[in-house]
A and B are shown apart, each in its own frame.
Chain A
Amino acid sequence: MASGIVVERVGRSFGAVHAVRSATFTARAGQVTALVGPNGSGKTTLMLMLASLLAPDAGRIRVAGADPVTDAAAVRARIGWMPDVLGSWPSLTVRQTLVTTARLYRLPVARARARAAELIAEVGLTELADRPTKVLSRGQKQRLSLARALVHDPDVLLLDEPASGLDPRARIELRELVRRLAAAGKTVLVSSHVLAELDEMADDAVYLDRGETAAAGALERARSTARPWRIRAASGDARAALAAAGVDAATIATDRGDLLVPVAGEGAAADLLAALVTAGVRVSVFAPAVGDLEQAFLELGAGPIDGGAS
């Protein structure tokens, strides 16, 4: 699996601060892997090590089959990195920025121009293509940053908080773009602390908390463990039907008129829905109250995280 990311027991500290203690995970080609963790958990430090900018103190990293410490050039040729800091050359236009970046990746001039035009259309900056980047809004800079990461058609994408500052439509476009890249066989690692956003695009997740990754497969387990489901009944006595289906009334909570019922796994949820419908309750909403990632995160004992429930 030469095109993915393999991280084994990687650690990095800054003086007395252990930003990453021990990170171990694998991100596969053709999949979107979420890198999840609270603020300050070491996500960006890990991303910087993957991007060959920061050397790890311990452990082993392989990005697209190459070691970022000993063969940074090979890694750089195959990764696209979108940093969490939005920086752009203020006096260059969007087009100049992309052409220059492509030239920095040693693309010939003609190819660089063509690639810039392609990406401008792809990220929806056509109208701003010849304006200096200093006039761009935060969301527009975010798109430019994404385009810059894609300029040399990399096999591995490292996206650090790519959706922050994007409006809902741009988020959807981002999600579609990311899914499309994964479908084309690229390895995509996306970090965020907004779990709902990752839930929509990730195939797999890596949890980073205080510099350590949690065991793999947490997402799979989360899908099968008990968590609250949101039930909204248009008519019918939902509570009675739930009691009949064997749900302990004491465990039912309410939220803005909806019922929150603990359900153990997807199978149990399907059974419960069938029971409610059979009992004549007209159900309009029946869904997990928290996302898969959030559930897994909560189970790992990391506690609630900001923006997670939004």
Chain B
Amino acid sequence: MSGWLDGLRVVLGLELRQKLTGVAWWVLLGVYALLLLVVTGVVTFIDGAFRGSGTGLDGSTIYSSIIFVVLLLASLVTPALSGTAINGDRDAGTLATTQVTLITTGQLTVGKFLAAWVAALAFLAASVPFLLFSWIVGGVEVDVVLVSLAVLAVELGVVAAVGVGLSGLVRRPLFSVVVTYLVVAALSVGTLIAFGLGSLAASSPATYTYVSASDYDDVTGLPTACGEPQVTHSSVPRPDRVWGLLATNPYVVLADAIPTHYGAHGEPDDAFGGLKWTVRQAQITPELDGHSDECEQARQGYTWPEPPTAEQTIDSTTPSWFVGLIVQVVLAALPLWGGFARLRTPARRLAAGSRIA
């Protein structure tokens, strides 16, 4: 086992040395830090400008915004860092000379994945000063910071695994990078569209019964006679049937995983909690047999059922980040395993038009 890890370390060192000695990587890191600086500046400025008027952003909103921007930027950078790991080496003629050594295919695949992940994590590390700043300014709880960093790290790992796996499955580096970007787009945007369309497609028929007063007492204004119940039929979207799609979204996973702190009325105190509340509501089955008896209500005095608070809703629903992460890890493991299978030597089957060396 220690021999296996030794080999893995050599591959990891080799990959990182190649990735990190390029000028391009440092330029990318610089541009990334600059963008974050701009975003942090703008968010802080808005916060300062509105704080006096009483509608200012909550301190923790600054932190949430920056975390979301970090996820956005890092998930845009990672495909470029990982998407050519295997087919790029094959094109450069350095893959076969590595395969012919005593390094196993497993060590090579895992080493390349870890290297891509570490290179992506460097972008997370570059965001730490900004997160630290927003943490101090925003006054966010420590658990929020720790969990958000951990989830970001896992999300980057998922993208890195997809990129490395696809670089083993797709022959041309350009295509594997593009397909990795498409996977990121599918997870970030595609899941939202699929969720919207899916809830519509899964619509169920619903009825709504409404009873109104047909006659009123002139003095008291209370109903004296009730009308016939009016039944309307409609089709109700069923997000509760496809909420898994929404749960797979990286931004949703991030927001859902972060522990929420509530205000005095059970309302979440940051953007993560707000998003979490919205998303969790999708799990609740909509009312399919609605009933409203205005006549009866008017007689007995109007009572409104207290709607559940955000805290109650969140506590009564399934933590969807868990579901989302499992789906994502499976999605990442599949191409990685495929790339590993394609990399195995002695090779029996080669993709059309490809050379092993």
Name A's B-contacting residues (CB within 8 A).
14-15, 44, 48-49, 51-55, 68-69, 72-73, 76-77, 79, 81, 83-92, 96, 100-101, 103-106, 145, 148
- 5 cross-chain pairs, A with B, having the tightest CB-CB distances, nearest first: A87-B93, A55-B346, A104-B101, A85-B93, A91-B21
A85–B99 alpha-carbon span in the complex (Å): 14
Name the distance in Å between B345's Cβ and chain A's nearest Cβ. 5
In B299-357, which residues have CB < 8 Å from any A CB? 345-348, 350, 352, 355-357
Fill in one digit per residue for B65-94: 1 if any A CB lies within 8 Å of its CB, else 0: 000000000000000000000000000111
Name the distance in Å between A68's Cβ and chain B's nearest Cβ. 6
Residues of A close to B18: CB separation below 8 A: 89-92
Residues of B close to A76: CB separation below 8 A: 100-102
Residue B17 contacts which of A15, A84, A96, A103 (CB distance < 8 angstroms)? A96
Residue B6 contacts which of A14, A106, A148 (CB distance < 8 angstroms)? A106
B102 touches A73 (CB 8 A): yes
B128 contacts the other chain (CB 8 A): no
Residues of A close to B231: CB separation below 8 A: none
Residue B93 contacts which of A14, A73, A83, A103 (CB distance < 8 angstroms)? A83
Residue A91 contacts which of B22, B99, B100 (CB distance < 8 angstroms)? B22
Residues of A close to B103: CB separation below 8 A: 104
Name the distance in Å between A39's Cβ and chain B's nearest Cβ. 15
B348 touches A104 (CB 8 A): no
Chain A, Cβ-Cβ closest to B105 = A72
A88–B14 alpha-carbon span in the complex (Å): 12
B10 contacts the other chain (CB 8 A): yes
A61–B101 alpha-carbon span in the complex (Å): 19
Residues of A close to B13: CB separation below 8 A: 100
B93 touches A86 (CB 8 A): yes
Residue A54 contacts which of B93, B346, B352 (CB distance < 8 angstroms)? B346
Name the distance in Å between A131's Cβ and chain B's nearest Cβ. 13
A52–B101 alpha-carbon span in the complex (Å): 10
Chain B, Cβ-Cβ closest to A49 = B346
A90–B91 alpha-carbon span in the complex (Å): 13
Chain B, Cβ-Cβ closest to A106 = B102
A53 touches B345 (CB 8 A): yes
Q: Which bracket fits the contact residues of B?
A: 20 to 34
B17 touches A68 (CB 8 A): no
B55 contacts the other chain (CB 8 A): no
Residues of A close to B17: CB separation below 8 A: 89, 91-92, 96
Given A52-B345, A53-B357, A69-B346, do A104 and B102 touch, yes or no (CB 8 Å)? yes
A105–B97 alpha-carbon span in the complex (Å): 11
Residues of B close to A72: CB separation below 8 A: 345-346
Chain B, Cβ-Cβ closest to A82 = B97
Residue among B99, B100, B347 having the largest count of chain A Cβ atoms under 10 Å: B100
A101 touches B356 (CB 8 A): no
Residues of B close to A54: CB separation below 8 A: 345-347, 356
B96 contacts the other chain (CB 8 A): yes
Chain A, Cβ-Cβ closest to B9 = A103
Residue B101 contacts which of A14, A68, A89, A105 (CB distance < 8 angstroms)? A105
Residues of A close to B11: CB separation below 8 A: 104
Chain B, Cβ-Cβ closest to A81 = B100
Name the distance in Å between A23's Cβ and chain B's nearest Cβ. 16
B7 contacts the other chain (CB 8 A): yes
CB pairs A–B below 8 angstroms (5 shown) = A51-B100, A53-B346, A69-B346, A92-B14, A106-B6
Residues of A close to B356: CB separation below 8 A: 48, 53-54
B97 touches A106 (CB 8 A): no
Residues of B close to A44: CB separation below 8 A: 357
B98 contacts the other chain (CB 8 A): yes
Residues of A close to B221: CB separation below 8 A: none
B3 contacts the other chain (CB 8 A): yes
B357 touches A48 (CB 8 A): yes
A89–B115 alpha-carbon span in the complex (Å): 15
A53 touches B100 (CB 8 A): yes
Fill in one digit per residue for B92-122: 1 if any A CB lies within 8 Å of its CB, else 0: 1111111111110000000000000000000
Residue among B93, B98, B101, B348 having the largest count of chain A Cβ atoms under 10 Å: B101
In B186-220, which residues have CB < 8 Å from any A CB? none
A73–B96 alpha-carbon span in the complex (Å): 14
Residues of A close to B3: CB separation below 8 A: 106
Residues of A close to B6: CB separation below 8 A: 106
Given contacts A52-B100, A53-B345, 17 further A-B contacts (CB under 8 A): A48-B356, A51-B100, A52-B345, A73-B102, A76-B100, A76-B102, A85-B96, A87-B93, A87-B96, A87-B97, A89-B94, A91-B17, A96-B17, A100-B10, A104-B10, A105-B101, A106-B7
A51–B100 alpha-carbon span in the complex (Å): 7
Chain A, Cβ-Cβ closest to B93 = A87
B346 touches A81 (CB 8 A): no
Residue B92 contacts which of A48, A87, A92, A106 (CB distance < 8 angstroms)? A87
A261–B346 alpha-carbon span in the complex (Å): 50
Residues of A close to B101: CB separation below 8 A: 76, 101, 104-105
Name the distance in Å between B110's Cβ and chain A's nearest Cβ. 15
Chain A, Cβ-Cβ closest to B354 = A14
Given A83-B96, A92-B17, A106-B7, do A77 and B102 touch, yes or no (CB 8 Å)? yes
Chain A, Cβ-Cβ closest to B95 = A87
Given A85-B357, A90-B92, A92-B18, do A15 and B352 touch, yes or no (CB 8 Å)? yes
A87–B21 alpha-carbon span in the complex (Å): 18
Residues of A close to B346: CB separation below 8 A: 49, 52-55, 68-69, 72
Name the distance in Å between A202's Cβ and chain B's nearest Cβ. 23
Name the distance in Å between B307's Cβ and chain A's nearest Cβ. 60
B10 touches A87 (CB 8 A): no
A55–B355 alpha-carbon span in the complex (Å): 13
